[in-house]
């Protein structure tokens, strides 16, 4: 609006902005002129807005299900309104403690292990001067990322069941007999986290390697003149050089600790490890899609996304304060 | 550059190389295991409990012969390819026009609309309401549910917008003087200059679609004929509800070949991608750096 009015006032540039007026009803008049002038642009905008309206804003309207005894036939506005009963059912139900605990533990463990792993890998790789070796290790380490989650988790399931090589290996180390590791609550989390490491360590290091290669070479030369050895060069030049990137990535991931996705866990979990594997998102899937209790599932999902949004906004706030960049 | 070589340095380098080789080994060993396992003799494969680095016993290609006849897998393969091509096409068009709209300074209230769209990155309806909406508009159990819902993402729009903003304004003005319309300006002037970003977006879209099984789990509950490849692999590997080991050709030896068939399925569904990726690797590097700089 401001832009058009501003243009309208520019009387010197009559040719380009012919048709715009100043005055009481200027806004709608000028908008109409603008629409006629930039028809295609507005058509594009409408397409985009319709898309987001259907696939992003309509589901937000659908969140009213959380307060209803929702039945698909009656729809969002015809179903029976039951207020906070769905939330009450969840908060007083038997699963809430387990779900929050598992979500936080898996999220935090994932952050603690799978966040530093690519950084360490990148630093180790950075010390190698032999280009061919460096490149081959890099290329090989990206490979697991290109194996789909279904296949990767299929491998994990195969390797950790009785007779699989990881299971046999664990049995030899601990002196027990080979068993299905995924069925024991002790092993689910390490398996889940480490399979994530396997999938993402190489791929995650790309960004740090890029940051490392942009560290100013002159700083190294200066450090050498001052008599710094390789260790001190690493501590005082290399690591400070990539610290902004590390901080940024850390805060971004911190914001997502609470949104542990359902898709990977759904592939690994089974009824015998629910006590350690069931997170909020898998519960939402089970209640909503398998039991068709849409109201309750929406309520739990809403609870999860509110916490997720708060976490994201907090981490974004911290990010802005510390590094002057922001995600949005 | 010359470094002084001290004993400490040598020891460090040796340890470093050993660790890196170990990482590389861990990354590649399961893949070799699967390939070699799939052509091993099944009697030996079924009782072997270590990693396999060469075919056990005589090379046996029966598993491949069996899955060659397993129509469902190839149908799913075809479906996935169709989904990837269609999603990429739709993403290309939608992301381009969105990037164009939001990068034009003359666009009315463009920052407000951008904010409206970015908000969905922060907060969204979630799994169940999205499912209900998609069901309401009649996409559930149709192949369109695999193509349309994920085609346009805010992140891609931001990438595209940034890239288009960097195209000099003068080029558009010059084209306009020659009488070019918005569509011409977008597809003939601006987009060709944003090729790198465009390629990155296409690549990420294609890989995401290739990996995706979850949307099929949600949106294709009753239509197995539309399943993408990953859903069929899930049946074979995870839920073991697949009927492949019961096919007519091997009633007697079905259980014997079960493991080898699983491995062979992984090979035919993963090897093509592993062969392509070294060539597109550099785009991933560009993409990751682009994303990090922007976000």
Asked, for residue A165, whether it belongs to a domain, the answer is yes
**Per-residue tokens: B59:** 């090379």
Going by C-alpha positions, the residue among A263, A268, A251 that lies closest to residue A324 is: A251
Determine, for residues A139 and B6 on separate chains, whether the beta-carbon distance falls below 8 Å.
no
Q: How far is A213 from chain B (nearest CA, A)?
A: 12
Adjacent-strand bridge partners of A69: A80
Going by C-alpha positions, the residue among B234, B223, B242, B210 that lies closest to residue B67 is: B242
Residues 6+ apart with CB under 8 A from A218: none
B288: contact with A, CB 8 A cutoff: yes
Residue of A nearest to B206 (CA): A146
Q: How far is CA B101 from CA A17, B132, B182, B246, in A?
A: 20, 30, 10, 55
- The alpha carbons of chain A give a radius of gyration, in whole angstroms, of 27
pLDDT tens track for A280-321: 999 999 999 999 999 999 999 999 999 988 998 898 888 888
Q: Which residues of chain A lie closer than 8 angstroms to B118, CB-CB?
A: 328
Q: What percent of chain A has pLDDT over 90?
A: 41
**A42 and A189 assigned to the same domain:** no
**A161 and A273 assigned to the same domain:** yes
Domain locations in chain B?
A: 1-60, 66-295
Q: Which residues of chain A lie closer than 8 angstroms to B295, CB-CB?
A: 252, 327
Would you place residue A13 in the very low, low, confident or very high pLDDT band (cuts 50, 70, 90)?
very low
Q: Which residues of chain A lie closer than 8 angstroms to B135, CB-CB?
A: 72
Residues 6+ apart with CB under 8 A from B81: none
Q: B134-157: string of b/e by CB count within 10 Å (b at 16+)?
A: bbeeebbeebbbbbbbbbbbbebb
**A186 and A51 assigned to the same domain:** no
Long-range CB contact pairs, B22-26, < 8 A, 24+: B23/A121, B23/A137, B23/A141, B23/A201, B23/A202, B24/A136, B24/A137, B24/A140, B24/A141, B26/A198
Residue linked to tokens 């729009």: B157
Q: Measured between CB atoms, which of A57, A143, A153 is closest to B27?
A: A143
Q: Measured between CB atoms, which of B33, B122, B281 is closest to A139?
A: B281
Q: Which residues of chain A lie closer than 8 angstroms to B213, CB-CB?
A: 148-150, 263
Residue of B nearest to A74 (CA): B136
φ and ψ of A69, to 5 deg: -90, 85
The count of domains in chain A is 2
**Per-residue tokens: A160:** 């950790």
A240 within 8 A of A228, measured Cβ to Cβ? no
**A13 and A144 assigned to the same domain:** no
Determine, for residues B274 and A147 on separate chains, whether the beta-carbon distance falls below 8 Å.
yes
B181: contact with A, CB 8 A cutoff: yes
H/E element, A68:
strand A68-69
What count of other Cβ atoms lies within 10 Å of the Cβ of residue A35? 14
**A181 and A297 assigned to the same domain:** yes
Q: How far is A23 from chain B (nearest CA, A)?
A: 19
Touching A: B residues 43-72, CB under 8 Å: 49-51
Touching A: B residues 79-108, CB under 8 Å: 94, 97-98, 100-101, 104, 106-108
Residue linked to tokens 């129509």: B71
pLDDT tens track for A43-90: 999 999 999 999 999 999 999 999 988 888 888 888 888 989 999 999
**A35 and A178 assigned to the same domain:** no
Q: A111-122: string of b/e by CB count within 10 Å (b at 16+)?
A: beebeebbbebb
DSSP per residue, A13-54: TTTTTTT---STTHHHHHHHHHHHHTHHHHHHHHHHHHHHII
A98 within 8 A of A278, measured Cβ to Cβ? yes
**A245 and A274 assigned to the same domain:** yes
**A226 and A151 assigned to the same domain:** yes
pLDDT tens string for chain B (295 positions)? Answer: 455 677 878 888 899 999 999 999 999 999 999 999 999 888 888 888 888 888 888 888 888 988 888 888 999 999 999 999 999 999 999 999 999 999 988 888 888 999 999 899 888 888 999 999 999 999 999 999 999 998 999 989 999 998 999 889 889 889 988 888 888 999 999 999 998 889 989 988 998 999 999 999 999 998 889 999 999 999 888 887 777 655 544 555 667 788 888 899 999 998 888 888 888 877 777 777 776 555 4
Residue of B nearest to A265 (CA): B214
Residue of B nearest to A50 (CA): B117
**A257 and A139 assigned to the same domain:** yes
B139 within 8 A of B219, measured Cβ to Cβ? yes
Q: How far is CA A115 from CA A122, A223, A318, B102, in A?
A: 12, 29, 18, 34
B271 within 8 A of B36, measured Cβ to Cβ? no
Determine, for residues B122 and A168 on separate chains, whether the beta-carbon distance falls below 8 Å.
no
3-state secondary structure of B21: helix
Going by C-alpha positions, the residue among B166, B165, B190 that lies closest to residue B176 is: B190
Q: How far is A196 from chain B (nearest CA, A)?
A: 12
Would you place residue A221 in the very low, low, confident or very high pLDDT band (cuts 50, 70, 90)?
confident
Residues 6+ apart with CB under 8 A from A96: A90
**Per-residue tokens: A100:** 């929050």
Going by C-alpha positions, the residue among B138, B126, B214 that lies closest to residue A66 is: B126
Q: Measured between CB atoms, which of A48, A124, A210 is closest to B20?
A: A124
Q: Measured between CB atoms, which of B94, B101, B125 is closest to A51?
A: B94
Q: Domain span at residue A169? A: 88-323
Say whether domain B66-295 belongs to CATH 1.10.3720.10. yes
Q: Measured between CB atoms, which of B117, B183, B274 is closest to A40?
A: B183
Would you place residue A326 in the very low, low, confident or very high pLDDT band (cuts 50, 70, 90)?
low
**A235 and A97 assigned to the same domain:** yes
Would you place residue A2 in the very low, low, confident or very high pLDDT band (cuts 50, 70, 90)?
very low
Q: Which residues of chain B lie closer than 8 angstroms to A57, CB-CB?
A: 120
B130: contact with A, CB 8 A cutoff: yes
Asked, for residue A281, whether it belongs to a domain, the answer is yes
- Alpha carbon distance A26, A20 (integer Å): 8
User: Domain holding A244: CATH number?
Assistant: 1.10.3720.10
**A119 and A52 assigned to the same domain:** no
Q: How far is CA A150 from CA A90, A157, A268, B149, in A?
A: 30, 10, 10, 21
Least confidently predicted of A95-99, A201-205, B289-293? B289-293
Asked, for residue A79, whether it belongs to a domain, the answer is no
Q: How far is A289 from chain B (nearest CA, A)?
A: 7
**A28 and A97 assigned to the same domain:** no
Touching A: B residues 158-177, CB under 8 Å: none
């Amino acid at each position: 609006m401001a832009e058009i009015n501003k243009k309208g006032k520019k009387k010197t540039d009559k040719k380009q902005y012919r048709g715009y007026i100043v005055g009481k009803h200027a806004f709608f008049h000028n908008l109409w002129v603008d629409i006629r002038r930039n028809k295609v642009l507005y058509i594009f905008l409408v397409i985009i807005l319709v898309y987001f309206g259907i696939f992003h804003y309509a589901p937000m309207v659908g969140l009213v299900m959380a307060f209803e005894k929702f039945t698909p036939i009656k729809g969002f506005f015809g179903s029976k309104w039951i207020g906070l009963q769905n939330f009450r059912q969840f908060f007083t139900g038997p699963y809430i403690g387990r779900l929050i605990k598992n979500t936080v533990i898996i999220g935090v463990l994932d952050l603690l292990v799978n966040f530093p792993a690519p950084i360490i890998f990148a630093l180790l790789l950075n010390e190698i001067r032999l280009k061919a070796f460096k490149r081959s290790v890099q290329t090989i380490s990206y490979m697991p990322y290109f194996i789909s989650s279904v296949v990767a988790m299929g491998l994990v399931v195969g390797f950790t069941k009785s007779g699989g090589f990881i299971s046999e290996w664990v049995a030899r180390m601990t002196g027990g007999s080979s068993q299905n590791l995924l069925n024991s609550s002790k092993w689910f989390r390490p398996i889940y986290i480490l399979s994530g490491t396997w999938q993402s360590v190489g791929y995650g290091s790309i960004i740090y390697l890029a940051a490392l290669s942009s560290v100013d070479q002159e700083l190294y030369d200066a450090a050498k003149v001052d008599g710094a050895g390789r260790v001190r060069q690493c501590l005082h030049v290399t690591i400070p050089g990539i610290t902004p990137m590390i901080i940024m990535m850390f805060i971004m991931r911190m914001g997502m600790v609470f949104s542990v996705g359902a898709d990977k866990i759904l592939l690994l979990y089974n009824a015998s490890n629910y006590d350690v594997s069931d997170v909020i998102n898998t519960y939402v899937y089970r209640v909503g899609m398998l039991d068709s209790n849409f109201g309750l599932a929406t309520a739990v999902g809403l609870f999860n996304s509110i916490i997720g949004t708060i976490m994201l906004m907090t981490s974004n706030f911290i990010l802005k304060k510390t590094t002057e960049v922001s995600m949005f | 550059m010359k470094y002084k070589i001290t004993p400490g340095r040598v020891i460090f380098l040796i340890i470093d190389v050993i660790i890196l080789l170990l990482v590389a080994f861990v990354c590649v060993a399961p893949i070799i295991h699967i390939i070699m396992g799939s052509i091993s003799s099944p009697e030996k494969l079924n009782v072997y409990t270590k990693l396999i680095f060469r075919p056990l016993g005589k090379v046996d290609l029966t598993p491949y012969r069996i899955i060659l006849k397993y129509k469902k897998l190839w149908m799913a393969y075809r479906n996935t390819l169709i989904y990837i091509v269609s999603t990429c096409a739709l993403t290309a068009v939608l992301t381009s026009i969105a990037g164009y709209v939001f990068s034009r300074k003359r666009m009315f209230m463009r920052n407000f609309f951008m904010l409206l769209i970015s908000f969905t990155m922060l907060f969204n309806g979630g799994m169940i309401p999205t499912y209900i909406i998609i069901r309401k508009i009649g996409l559930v159990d149709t192949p369109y549910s695999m193509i349309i819902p994920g085609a346009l993402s805010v992140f891609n729009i931001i990438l595209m917008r940034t890239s288009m903003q960097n195209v000099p304004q003068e080029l558009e003005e010059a084209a306009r003087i020659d009488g070019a319309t918005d569509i011409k300006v977008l597809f003939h002037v601006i987009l060709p200059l944003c090729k790198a970003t465009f390629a990155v977006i296409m690549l990420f879209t294609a890989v995401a679609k290739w990996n995706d099984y979850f949307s099929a789990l949600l949106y294709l509950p009753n239509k197995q004929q539309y399943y993408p490849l990953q859903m069929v692999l899930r049946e074979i590997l995870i839920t073991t509800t697949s009927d492949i080991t019961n096919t007519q050709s091997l009633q007697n030896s079905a259980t014997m070949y079960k493991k080898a068939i699983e491995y062979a399925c992984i090979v035919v569904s993963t090897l093509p991608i592993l062969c392509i990726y070294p060539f597109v690797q550099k785009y991933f590097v560009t993409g990751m750096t682009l994303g990090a700089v922007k976000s």
